Structure 1
C-alpha cells in the first residue's frame, strides 16, 4: 500500500510538472494550443471585439491575487 501511494504521488508530481507547470516546452505548447483552440471554438459565438483581452502571463488576474495572497 505504501509503495502504491508513493508511486501515485510521484506520478502526480511528474504529470503536474510536465503538463501544468510552466517548466517545459511541452507545457507551453499544450497551453498555447489549448488557448488557440478555445479562441477558435468561441469565435462563432462572440462579437469581433470580444476576443481581445489582456495577456494574463504579464498581468495576473484578481483571482490569482486573492488565491495566492500576494
Structure 2
C-alpha cells in the first residue's frame, strides 16, 4: 500500500509554523502539564505531517492540498 502525499504548499508552511508555535507554547507556557503535553503532541504531529507530506486525517476527509503534477 503506497502512501499518496496530500499535504503541500501553503498547508505545509502553516503546519510548520503552527507546530513550532505549539511546541514553544508547551515548553514556555505556565499552564497545567496536561495542556503542555497536548500542545506538544499536536505540535509534533503537525511537524511530522508537514515533513512527510501526508496527513491521515486529510486522507479520511478526502482533502488534498498538494498540486497534481502533469
Give the TM interval when normalised to the shorter protein.
0.3 to 0.5
More helix by share: 1
